[in-house]
Chain A
Amino acid sequence: MREEIKGSYFIAKKDMGAYYLKPPLISWGLMLPIVFVFAFYFRNPMGIKEVVPGLIGLTLLFSCTSMAAIVITFEKRIGALERLLLAPLNFRTILLGKTLGSTLFGLMVAIVITLILIPLMGLHVKHFWAFIFIIVFSGLAFSLLGILISVGVKEVFEAMTMSNFFRFPMIFLCGVFFPVPSMPFPLSILSYLLPLTYAVDGLKHCLLEDKGMIPLYLDLLILLGFVFLLFSLSLFIFKKRIRQEF
């Protein structure tokens, strides 16, 4: 187990150095929420506070999935994934390493945005530890969503198309700008099936005086459930794909 954790850590560390901590990705991670803040501020300066939890959730979603959705496909294409498969590591360790790299990057960007937005908007964190766990579980779930796409497709362009197919509808379906209960029937069902809904709901509890729609502990449990489900699914598909393609 210790060896597995160490292996995952080294993979994550390498991915951070090789891919994540590069100007294009950092600027993409920071620019998107900043653009959204300005867009909402100019539209309704008084209501901007209401969308801060959603903006933090979106920041996490976009920064965690930005590279995660293509990292395995990309490394498969250039032959570098073979190096990982040749190392004495199991599939779980490799997948965990890839997920950790992407999650750490997402958390770094989300922390920067949170540290800017919270004092700027005069907000305070009500449930500190719950806030931390919501951020961490959401980051893991979003990274795994990206990883799931990455292991499921063959080409980098397919991965990018698929990740946009998932990400952009989530902006409107997960309570970032419109409350989920106010959505029409079929869309609200779809909302409950997406992890961003619970990330935003949990963040609303922590930042907006318990304005969430379901209890905070349920948000945490559901996000944790997404983490296990998406990891198991990604691992299953990863193993299957590698056996088919190698």
Chain B
Amino acid sequence: MDSIIRVNDLTKFYETILAVDHISFDVKEGEVFGFLGPNGAGKTTTIRMLVGLTQLSSGTAWVDGHDVTKESVEVKRTIGLVPETSNLYGELTAMENVIYQAELYGIARKERKDRALQLLEEFGLKEHQEKAFQALSRGLKRRLTIAAALIHHPKILFLDEPTTGLDVMSARGLRKLILESKKKGLTIFLTTHYIPEAETLCDRIAIIVKGKVRIIDTPESIKAQVKETEILEIGLDRVSEELKGSFLSLNGVEKVLIDENRIRFHTRRLGKITSRIVKSLGEHGAEIQSINTLGPSLEDAFVKLTGLDSELMKIDKPIKGGPES
């Protein structure tokens, strides 16, 4: 796949504060690329520089072959941005908002309404088309903001914290829509501080902390980098402390933990000891009901790679005033 976004040594200072610290990365066409980091890490600033809303302090960035500093109008034709706060016009209806976006992007008059209807249908908003934006729920506002950002068939969709402030069902629906958009060939660049969201949605993730990119890789590869021990989890009909004690002396088993009717063996030699454990359980008269192997989660990897407490990632940014609230 070719790179559709190329960033080299990108830096942003706000007066003396370094918001983005010499970052370099590229995004391949058709992938979902995630920027994962806590609030204040520089995620939104990076997006704003890439879409031409914020000036670069130094470095270069190219979006679909256009220099973001010199060809910002061409960049804007190629991208759609959904900011963290849904910022359509509160006084206009859902349909009027989408049509207005079509007008601003120069879409021909005869195509505007058809395209708007198509998007409203795709995003489950057709029945709300005559409602004012300010009267919609937060989840519907978010959907409409994404629909409006897609009106001009952009090649890249930037989503800044797409599910922040949404209820579980709305967030789930939105993630589904994101994956459907990806299937249609759209390149998606999203920022999030929800680790499971990044893991579910992204083909590749850049972990960013204090303006610096710590690692860029697939979720699986990131997890593999911190993979030191594996866990063999066996579900049994009954588990006892006596049974647990009998395995502690087994060569290769580092730790044995009991969780209700499941027993977990932490080991670095999973392949070699699994059959021995199963055989031994049989000798103890235990009936095996399930066997799983567990690797480290992305959250484990994040904590290990950044040294940050994962609880920090669960804190939402306060939502600014405006049409969202």
Q: Are B76 and A14 in contact (CB under 8 A)?
A: no
Say if the beta carbon of B53 comes within 8 Å of chain A: yes
Given A77-B322, A79-B322, does the pair A87, B91 have CB atoms closer than 8 Å? no
- Nearest chain-A residue to B100 (Cβ)? A14
Contact of A18 among B48, B89, B101 (CB under 8 A): B89
Q: How far is the CA of A17 from the CA of B53 in the complex (A)?
A: 26
Q: What is the size, in residues, of chain A's interface with B at 8 Å between Cβ atoms?
A: 25
A9 to chain B, nearest CB (A): 9
Say if the beta carbon of B181 comes within 8 Å of chain A: no
Q: Are B106 and A3 in contact (CB under 8 A)?
A: yes
Query: B106 — which chain A residues lie within 8 A by C-beta?
Result: 3, 6-7, 88
Q: How far is the CA of A14 from the CA of B51 in the complex (A)?
A: 24
Say if the beta carbon of B104 comes within 8 Å of chain A: yes
Query: A19 — which chain B residues lie within 8 A by C-beta?
Result: 91
Say if the beta carbon of B213 comes within 8 Å of chain A: no
Interface segment out of the listed B79-87, B256-264, B287-295: B79-87
A87-103, CB under 8 A of B: which get 1 and which 0?
Answer: 11110000000000000
B88-114, CB under 8 A of A: which get 1 and which 0?
Answer: 111110001000110111100000000
Query: A13 — which chain B residues lie within 8 A by C-beta?
Result: 103
Q: Are A14 and B81 in contact (CB under 8 A)?
A: no
Q: How far is the CA of A18 from the CA of B77 in the complex (A)?
A: 25
Say if the beta carbon of B224 comes within 8 Å of chain A: no
Q: Are A78 and B87 in contact (CB under 8 A)?
A: yes
Say if the beta carbon of A43 comes within 8 Å of chain B: no
Residues of B within 8 A of A (CB): 48, 51-55, 73-74, 76-77, 81, 83, 85, 87-92, 96, 100-101, 103-106, 320-323
Residues of A within 8 A of B (CB): 3, 6-7, 10-11, 13-14, 17-19, 77-80, 82-90, 243, 246
- Beyond the given A14-B89, A80-B88, could you list 6 further A-B residue pairs with CB under 8 A, ordered by the A residue number? A14-B100, A14-B103, A88-B73, A88-B74, A243-B55, A246-B48
